[in-house]
Each structure stands twice: as C-alpha cells, then as structure tokens.
C-alpha cells in the first residue's frame, strides 16, 4: 500500500502546502474485538499489554495471540463517557522490578478524578498493587481526565491531567491538580526540585499548569525536551514544549472557540503564558503521541507521530534539528478514529483504533 501525502505546515497560524516523500507500508492486524483500546506497552521478550477503556487489561502473547481472559488485579475503574482505564506503562527497571503503572478514572459519577497505581505483573495477574496518586479535587461528570504519562531520566514520571470540562477556570488555580502536568517519583512522592514545592498555596506535585486535557506525552532524550499535546475545544489543539513551572494559558489564552461557537477568550497570546509550538485549528482531536527512532522507516526517524480521533489519521510532525517544519496526514485510508500510536521495539509503528470493536495494528514497510 503506497501513500503519497501532503504536508500541511501550521505554526501559530502560518499555513504552507508542499509534497511529502512517499513511503511504502502495510498494515497487520494483531488483535481485534477490543472495547475501545486506549494504551499499549511492550513487554520484554515479546508480548504486549493493552488497556480497554471499559476497565480491562489484556495480554497479547509473544506469539501474537490475544489471551482470552483479562488480567486480574486491575483497580476498580469508574467507566462512562471519557472515563475508564487509560495508560499502561512499564517502569524503566521493569525487567528487574516488574512494576507496571496504570492511570484510570476513579470514584463515582458524583465524585471522580484521575488516579495512578502501580503493581507487579507476574505473567498472569497484577499483584502488590498500590495507589501512588489521586488528583484533587474530585469532580462531577465524565470528561477530561488526561491520563497519559512518561518517565524522565532522573527516575521521575510526569502524568498529564484534564480540567474536568466544567471546571476549566481551575486550570489557572495552582491550589488543585485540574488542568495540569504533575511530576512524581517512581514511588509516588513529590520530588524536592518540583517548581511549586516552595509555593505555599500551590500543590507540590505540579510541574506546569494552564492545560485543557493532556492526551500525549513524550520525552525526547536526544534534545532533553518534554513535549505534550492537548485537546482544544473547536480548534485550538496544542503541541507544547514543557518548561518547569510554566503556565500554558488555558482558558485565558487559546486559538479555539467553545462548542457553542462563542469565543472562549479574545486572547491567543498574552505576556506570562507559554505559546504553543503549533496548534490545530480546526481540531484534529489528538489522542496519543510517539517519537519514532526505529530502523524500519529511516525517512521517519526523529519525527513525532500524533494519533487523531476526529481527523481519523496519524499526523506526522516532520522535524529538522528538533523544530517542526511540516506535517503529513497518514493512514487516512483506514477511515477509523485512532486512539494511540506507539513505536515498537521492532522498529514498527503500532496503532490502536477507537471503537467497540477496536484493533491493534502494526505498520510495517511494504515488501
């Protein structure tokens, strides 16, 4: 299957079209019949863990078979709307420790939030599970939980959170966790060098604030950069480079408008707020993100890949010296909402399709 893409460059409002290099690829279906798969983690020695938003953790065996029974030991998950089981991630020392991290919606319809647990996976079930973090305060509704996480080289992790939809003004309040990125040690405590530790009225876990709903988190080890993307409303999806302690503006600064058509704010930039590296207006509904550094697609090395729900594609962000110089829409022929995109240890790209009959797809070079 051969794709000839178009590159759409959108950097704070600048749009330029050019022609992208063609790359031959094919799709392989590894698993199907998954109920809204959300996240994927690669086990050492082969095999994958996959979350289903309805609260199940599934195992794809090293030989590619989907184990019929879900993995036991998963925490009780609040499910409904956007709420459910979110990220699964292996600790950096997983081969020795066995730790697996899970983010999920916890609580009830009247009082719920985002939780982070870790447990050991013994090959059959999760054991020794403990809750490391519970975002505060609890809220009503079923929207905007964030849930993506990644590990940093200093033995900490960052977890992206949402603003709870109806609570968006709280994204500017450092006295809670709504609309923020938090940084924790691998055991769930607060690192002593977090930027808000010495601020008495702020939550010590905070790493950055002013976010709407963080859905992609990547650490670029080569450039020592932490990158996130987040949903806007109707437009105003953002890709941001994270600076410790910075404020990214939501809802005071945005390129998006509300679902009613009303402007959220008259400001697309203001002093004291970090501008996005780029924004997607209209919205593509970004959902996952990976930095590709594999050998199978040398044309893609060093580029970011952003899965998208509304746009039903994966957006390749073409980079030169770490700067985004263009975009290419990929895999549109699937016609499916894409929940996540991952770089596999085999150099392939992996996709999760977002539906009640979701699939795990492997993208390989065409023969």
- Give the residue among 88, 137, 90 at the shortest CA–CA distance from 114: 137
């519970």: which residue's tokens?
A: 134
User: Containing H/E element for 97?
Assistant: helix 94-97
Q: Which two tokens stand for residue 321?
A: 């010296």
User: CB–CB of 59/45 below 8 Å?
Assistant: no
- Give the residue among 162, 288, 172 at the shortest CA–CA distance from 228: 288
- Give the number of other Cβ atoms within 10 Å of residue 87's Cβ: 24
User: CB–CB of 339/354 below 8 Å?
Assistant: yes
**Count of alpha carbons within 13 angstroms of residue 155, beta-carbon side:** 6
Residue 230, helix vs strand vs coil:
strand
The reply to whether 229 belongs to the active site is no
Long-range contacts of 311-316 (CB under 8 A, 24+ apart): 311/284, 311/285, 312/336, 312/337, 312/338, 313/284, 313/338, 314/338, 314/341, 314/349, 314/351, 315/280, 315/284, 315/286, 316/5
271: phi then psi, degrees, rounded to nearest 5: -60, 140
User: CB–CB of 188/132 below 8 Å?
Assistant: yes
Q: How far is CA 321 from the centre of its chain?
A: 23
Active-site residue, from 36, 94, 144, 211: 144
Q: Which residues are catalytic?
A: 144
């Amino acid at each position: 299957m051969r794709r000839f893409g178009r590159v759409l460059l959108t950097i704070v409002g600048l749009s330029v079209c050019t022609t992208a290099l063609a790359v031959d690829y094919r799709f392989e279906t590894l698993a199907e019949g998954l109920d809204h798969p959300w996240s994927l983690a690669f086990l050492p020695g082969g095999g994958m863990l996959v979350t289903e938003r309805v609260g199940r953790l599934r195992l794809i065996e090293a030989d590619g078979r989907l184990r019929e029974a879900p993995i036991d030991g998963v925490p009780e998950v609040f499910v409904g709307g956007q709420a459910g089981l979110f990220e699964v991630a292996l600790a950096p020392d997983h081969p020795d420790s066995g730790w697996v991290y899970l983010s999920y919606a916890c609580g009830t319809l009247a009082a719920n939030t985002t939780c982070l647990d870790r447990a050991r996976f013994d090959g059959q079930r999760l054991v020794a599970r403990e809750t490391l973090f519970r975002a505060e305060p609890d809220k009503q509704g079923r929207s905007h939980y964030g849930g993506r996480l990644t590990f940093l080289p200093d033995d900490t992790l960052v977890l992206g959170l949402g603003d709870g939809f109806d609570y968006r003004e709280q994204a500017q309040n450092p006295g809670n966790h709504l609309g923020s990125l938090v940084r924790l040690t691998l055991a769930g405590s607060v690192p002593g060098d977090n930027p808000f530790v010495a601020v008495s009225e702020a939550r010590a876990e905070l790493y950055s604030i002013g976010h709407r709903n963080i859905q992609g988190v990547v650490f670029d080890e080569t450039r020592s950069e932490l990158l996130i993307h987040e949903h806007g409303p109707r437009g105003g999806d953002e890709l941001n480079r994270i600076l410790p302690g910075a404020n990214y503006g939501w809802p005071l600064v945005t390129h998006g408008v509300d679902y009613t058509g009303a402007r959220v704010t008259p400001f697309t930039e203001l002093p004291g707020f970090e501008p996005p590296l780029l924004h997607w207006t209209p919205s593509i509904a970004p959902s996952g993100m990976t930095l590709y550094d594999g050998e199978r697609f040398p044309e893609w090395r060093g580029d970011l890949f952003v899965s998208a729900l509304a746009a039903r594609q994966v957006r390749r962000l073409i980079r030169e010296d770490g700067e985004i110089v263009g975009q290419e829409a990929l895999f549109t022929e699937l016609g499916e909402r894409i929940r996540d995109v991952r770089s596999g240890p085999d150099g392939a790209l992996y996709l999760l399709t977002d539906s009640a009959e979701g699939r795990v797809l492997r993208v390989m070079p065409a023969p």
